[in-house]
Amino acid sequence: MEPEMDALKVKILPEHQSSPSSTYTVTKPKSKSLILLLIATVAVTLGLLYVFSSNPVLLSGSLFCPLRYSVLIDAGSSGTRVHVFAYWFDQYGEPVFDFGEKHYADMKLTPGLSAYADDPEGASVSVTNLVEFAKTRIPKIKLRTSDIRLMGTAGMRLLEAPVQEQILDVTRRVLRSSGFMFRDEWATVISGSDEGIYAWVIANHALGSLGSDPLETTGIVELGGASAQATFVSSGHVPPEFSRTIAYGNVSYTIYSHSFLHYGKDTALKRLLESLQNSAENSTGDGIVEDPCTPRGYIYDTSSQNYSSGFLADESKLKGSIQAAGNFSKCRSATFALLQEGKDNCLYEHCSIGSTFTPDLQGSFLATSNFYYTAKFFELEEKGWLSELIPAGTKYCGEEWSKLKSEYPTTEEEYLRGYCFSSAYTISMLHDSLGIALDDERITYASKAGAKHIPLDWALGAFILDTVTPTSYYGGKSRKHLGFV
């Protein structure tokens, strides 16, 4: 079977146009018609050249601007996802991106690579399967000229440096033998700030706001499994350790970008449960404390082995010391207290979460990842959704676990159990901590953006930056079109 992204069969933007036909049947001409055939061939060639020169879109994916391919593996906390990109350069040397299904594919496997901390060799199976998927989407003749990269995020950042390197060395061995173009330095753990910048880039690329007034761009708040990111243009003073400058054309953007490590949905829930367990152990009473963020009737060790995130795999030890007692208001208070821990150590003018500087949020925002999944689960309106989340979370947290399983039979228990926590945690972070008004319609939840519904995945932003100037970012140099200054 031919790969779906075969350079000769793909659909080229805009959608109502396609690449020139690439399938021909050639028969041996008769000698009497050789001259006529040559004349016809020259005429057709000249005609095609005229069309190509007058309509640059038709060049996309053609003989003159062939498709190129790139692969990026996102080693996240809850899973590892491979992204396969097809792109081309127009006759002016500008990269053309299309994240539709004809030029983009992805696949995710669980658990994340950080789950192999005690068995680094185990990571090879996951990465090998992702590589094999990528190969099915790229013509074999293109493999050796297609680069493949791996970027680890918060789950990997939580590991000790030696353990990180052990896992990365295993992935490098797999990628070196993959048949793709690869260098050892292309498998790395990226900073949380970079992750936020990449997410900001793809969001504003999708919305068409790159190159516009900085204050007209859209910010990103993302809730991952092990960390949360906030990235947006700020007109106020931002300490240099939180500030990044990106240039696009003649426009320069000064961006606040920070990753709140340990504040992702999974790690925050784990921290809360550990805190409750410590309270139970230090209790002078019966040694049992209530967990307000888990629906009543939930038994902590029944499904812990099914958890793909790896963060709650040791949940069984909570049995007997913690009792599920879902209550949205109490859960909101508990999660807010979690977010404010360390605030007394704030050395800046303003700290919203812990002791980390956070400027006042301004402009429009997209809430992504677990913010999106939570809001989508409760079927909230995209605008004003924060105000709707409170009654929805209150009702959900107050339900019995058995009733919830019956009401949502197709939802995995790992996620079903977590929606009480994530609903309260969302309000605690976005409203109680970051100060976003409940009725503020400038913040919407989304997993895709723009007229073309481009996925809001930071890996797409990383691909854009790498493609514009493949090597300069890693050396901290500026880029020709879009990059760090």
Enumerate the known binding-site residues. 225-229
Q: Is 381 a catalytic residue?
A: no
Amino acid at residue number 307: Y
Bridge partners of 439? none
Contacts of 367 (CB under 8 A, 6+ apart): 221, 222, 223, 375, 430, 443, 444, 445, 446
3-state secondary structure the chain: CCCCCCCCCCCCCCCCCCCCCCCCCCCCCCHHHHHHHHHHHHHHHHHHHHHHHHCHHHHECCCCECCEEEEEEEECCCCEEEEEEEEEECCCCCEEECCCCCCEEEEEECCCHHHHCCCHHHHHHHHHHHHHHHHHCCCHHHHHHCEEEEEECHHHHCCCHHHHHHHHHHHHHHHHCCCCECCHHHEEECCHHHHHHHHHHHHHHHHCCCCCCHHHCEEEEEECCCEEEEEEECCCCCCHHHEEEEEECCEEEEEEEEEEECCCHHHHHHHHHHHHHHHHHCCCCCCCEEECCCCECCCCCCCHHHCCCCCCCCHHHHCCCEEECCCHHHHHHHHHHHHHCCHHHCCCCCEEECCEECCCCCCEEEEEEHHHHHHHHCCCCCCCHHHHHHHHHHHHHCCEHHHHHHHCCCCCHHHHHHHHHHHHHHHHHHHHHCCCCCCCCCEEECCEECCCCEECCHHHHHHHHHHHCCCCHHHCCCCCCEEEC
Structure tokens at 210: 């790159």
User: What whole-number distance in Å separates Cα of residue 99 and Cα of residue 5?
Assistant: 12
User: What whole-number distance in Å separates Cα of residue 222 and Cα of residue 153?
Assistant: 13
| Under 8 Å between Cβ of 95 and 89 | yes
Q: Which of 4, 185, 195, 349 is catalytic?
A: 195
| Under 8 Å between Cβ of 206 and 465 | no
Backbone angles phi, psi at 471, to 5 degrees: -115, -15
| Under 8 Å between Cβ of 67 and 88 | yes
Contacts of 39 (CB under 8 A, 6+ apart): none
Summarize the annotated binding site for ATP as residue ranges: 225-229
List residues with catalytic annotation.
195
